[in-house]
Each structure stands twice: as C-alpha cells, then as structure tokens.
A and B are shown apart, each in its own frame.
Chain A
Amino acid sequence: MASSSNTATYNTPCAACKFLRRKCVPDCIFAPYFPPEEPHKFANVHKIFGASNITKLLNDILPHQREDAVNSLAYEAEARVRDPVYGCVGAISFLQMQVERLQEELDAANADLIQYASSCNHRYPHQNMSSALPIQSTTTTQYTSQQAPRQIRPNNNAYYPTPSTFSFPWNDNNASGRGGAAGE
C-alpha cells in the first residue's frame, strides 16, 4: 500500500503515456513536453503525426531544442485538426499576402513623400527639406525583397513551392544529422 501510494505520487504518467496506455518510464521522451494537464496537446499531435514520428523527430534534434519543436508540432497539429485542408499553411499564405500588401502601401507612401519633398524643394529652395525624404529601412529590404517566401500561396495549378530563400537568423540546423542521435 505504501509502495503503491509512493508510486502514484512519484511517477505521474505524462499525457502521452496516458493516451497510449503504457507505463511512463523515468526517461520518457514525451514526459517533459506533454504534461498530464494538457491531454489534448498530445492527442492532436498523435492524431496528425503519430507518436513514432514524433519520437524520431525529437531524437533527431538537440535536447534544448525539443521544447520548441514540440510546441511547433502541437501548433501545426491543432491547425490541421481545425482546418484539415490547409492547416497552418493557410495562415502562412494569409500573412504572406499581408506582407505584400503592406509593402505596396509603404512603397506608395514613400513615393508620395518623395513627391511632396520635391514639390516643397521647388517652392522653398532655400529650405532644408531633407528630412522629408522617406525613411530608408534596411529591415524590410532584408526580409521582403530578398528573403520573403513569396511562392507559398494557394494555387490550383501547382504545388506549394518551398521557401527556398529563407534564411532565418536562428540556427535551426544545429540539430544533428538525419539518423543520428542528438548529443545527449
């Protein structure tokens, strides 16, 4: 009795092992990321991706990256459950269009600013209107014209191309190579 009560308080099975109805071992790979208080998290992930695939994915990346990976997988699984057709790719397409629209608006506003500045310079040539020039931002140049994945959008005639121009600042490739265990 004492041992069973000690067992009950010592090792609460994680949501994954609860769902899979198996014993939750101390070194369970799911336990840190699927707490028993969030059963829906693993349920969605298991439904869309499968536990074995998740295990392989987690084994292929470094331990300190697994939490981010699980959170992103949980997000994608939830998105796919809600929208079985587009999943989270629909959101990407929407945001991509928003970026393009904002960029067009910004270009138009800058053009207006240049036009206004030039007209003011014509009227008041002795006045310094250099501050009327559009703000030259390097940020959007870096991420829109060069690196924006403009190919991802619903297209009835083609598959979604991959964002080949992506270059995220974080080093997502710290993960170990395929088939190799992460440096645990």
Chain B
Amino acid sequence: MTLKGGTSQACAACKYQRRKCTSECLLAPYFPPDQPKRFRNAHRLFGVRNISKILEELDPSQKADAMRSIISQADIRDRFPVHGCLGVIRHYDYQIRQLQEELQAVHAQLALYRQQEMSAMPPYDPSQLQLQLGMPRPVDGHALFNQEDSDPQQYNSVNALPIASHPSYNSFCGNVTADYIDSKDNNLVNSFWIQQSCSNGNNSNDQIQMMGSQTDQLIGSQSMQQDVIQDYEFFDVINDRQSFIDLKENHESSSESSLIDTTQTLENIAENELKNAAACLTLTSVN
C-alpha cells in the first residue's frame, strides 16, 4: 500500500492492517515494509493496541529499546511457541551450571597439583649435604652434583606456578557472586529478572538490581525448581551431562593414582641422591 502522491512505502504494520501509513505512525520506525514477519510475530503475541499501551507509558528515550525487546520476545515466541523466552532462560541457566561445574573441576585440579608440588618437594641444596658430610664443595664438580645444582630454584616451584596469580583464578575465587550461590541453592528465580543499568530510569547508573523476593510468588520458586529439574529430562544433554560426570570421575581417579606414583617417584629420587652422596664419600675416602 503506498501513500497517494508519495514515494515512501507504508510500514509493515500499516500494510498488515491495511491502513494509511502517515508520518506520525509510531510503529513505522520499527517495522520496515521489507520485514512483514517481524510485525506478524509481534502482532500475534502482543497486538497493536498492547504494544501502543506499553510505549505510551515510557519515555521517548526508552521506546526504541522497548520495541527491540518486544520484537525479540515475539520472535522467540514464534520460534518456540510453547516455552518462549522462559525456555531460553532455562537453557542459559543450565549452561551456566555446566560451566560452573567445569570451572570448579579445573580449579580443583590445579589446586591439587599445586598442593602436591608444595608438599612433595622439600627444598634441596646439594652443597648443604656436602657440608654435612664434611666435604668441601668440589670445584670442578662431580657430574652428578652438577646436574642437581644447575637449578637451585627447581624445587621451589610454587612461586613459579602462574596459577595463583592468574587473574582468571583470582576473579573466579573473588566473584563467587550471589547469583551463582543462589543458583546452587536452586533459587533461580531471583537471578532471572535483572534491570539493565540504563533501563527504565528507575535505577542509577552502574547498578544492577535483583528482583528477587517478589518473583517467588509469581510462578512459585518451587514449581520453577521442579520445572527446571523436569526440563533436564527433556534435554538430550542429560546424556552429555552423565558423560561429563563419568569423565570427571575418571580424571579424579587417575589423578589420585598419579599422586601416589608421584610421591613414590620423589621418594626414589631422594633415596638415589643419598646413595650417590654415599658413593662419592666412599670414592673420596679411598682416594
């Protein structure tokens, strides 16, 4: 439908409603004529009147963002007629839980190996051992001692680990936010409704407000928790989740066995060093 005497085309909203699209059309900026499906989705979910009512209550500066969110919500509902945005939220929530578990597992593994290295490697100084045995430090150096003496910092390896000072590690330890603590307690509803910092003018800048307590009364946090748990049955990822758990268990068991092996190996190394020292002493005394 084109305007009489005009070259501009009617917007998708006016086209759909078969009415004249004037220059004052509120929906024209958001529903271009080449995207009729966008308006159809919005119209199916909200209706023109409801969209207008929503926009009337907002400041002019907020209308653009509001329309974008309405369009997005309608498109999601078009794609997922049953679960809509709630399904997307649950999907992301599940994803966050998975990532948290993986992150915790990786950090636990790093902490385990760091602790293992700290406890298994006492500081070793071959020169001290020779002094205890009453021997001067050889100038040309026995071949065996030269090797151990090449890196005196070798057994003080904790400080060399980049893990403890890595910003990601610190950020993870420092940012165990209430969001994820709540999610661990299955209080998911509290984390769902967030107001952006520049959203509707009610919040100050740089402030993210959690709408928690009132949401519990809506759908019911209990039902939400049960719905989330029930949704796990729908997700095919339950198989992936189980495989991840199995994989993690295998890694943990292998890490335990490697820890035992490491301890025994370190003990063997210390024993060999003592034997070498004794052998050197014997050879020196013979000479």
Q: Using a CB–CB distance below 8 Å, which chain A residues touch chain B?
A: 41, 47-50, 52-53, 56-57, 60-61, 65, 68-69, 71-76, 78-80, 82-96, 98-99, 102-106, 108-110, 112-113, 115-116, 119-120, 123-124, 126-132, 134-140, 142-144, 148-149, 152, 154-156, 159-163, 166, 168-170, 172-175
Contact = CB atoms under 8 A, between A and B. Distances in A.
Given A85-B65, A120-B113, A127-B261, A137 B244 contact: yes
Given A74-B219, A128-B258, A170-B234, A89 B84 contact: no
Please give me the 6 A-B residue pairs with the lowest Cβ-Cβ distance, nearest first. A160-B72, A108-B168, A95-B92, A169-B236, A72-B86, A102-B99
Nearest to B51: A48
Interface stretch (B11-19, B101-109, B141-149): B101-109
Given A109-B103, A143-B95, A159-B68, A72 B84 contact: yes
Contacts of A61: 81-82
Query: What secondary structure prevails in chain B residues at the interface with A?
Result: helix
B46 A71 contact: no
A92 B80 CA distance: 15
B262 interface: yes
Interface stretch (B20-28, B193-201, B273-281): B193-201
B156 interface: no
B262 to A, nearest CB: 6
A72 B161 contact: no
B192 A88 contact: yes
B60 to A, nearest CB: 12
B162 A86 contact: no
B80 A168 contact: yes
5 contacts: A73-B84, A92-B92, A112-B166, A137-B102, A168-B83
B96 A152 contact: no
Given A88-B73, A135-B102, 8 more contacts: A57-B45, A83-B193, A84-B58, A92-B88, A127-B261, A127-B265, A159-B30, A168-B80
Given A99-B92, A105-B171, A166 B82 contact: no
B247 A136 contact: yes
Interface of B: 30, 44-47, 49-50, 54, 57-58, 62, 64-66, 68-73, 75-76, 79-89, 91-96, 98-100, 102-103, 105-107, 109-110, 113-114, 117, 154, 157, 160-163, 166, 168-169, 171-172, 179, 192-196, 199-200, 208, 211, 214-215, 218-219, 223, 227, 231, 234-237, 240-241, 243-244, 247-248, 251, 254-255, 258, 261-262, 265
B241 A131 contact: no
A152 B89 CA distance: 12
Given A49-B50, A166-B79, A143 B69 contact: no
A89 to B, nearest CB: 4
Given A68-B82, A166-B88, A85 B241 contact: no
B161 A84 contact: no
A52 B143 CA distance: 91
A108 B166 contact: yes
A76 B68 contact: no
B186 to A, nearest CB: 16
B82 A162 contact: no
A36 B134 CA distance: 94
A135 B251 CA distance: 8
B210 to A, nearest CB: 10
A90 B208 CA distance: 11
Contacts of B99: 99, 102-103, 106, 140, 144
A127 B263 CA distance: 10
Contacts of A72: 82-87
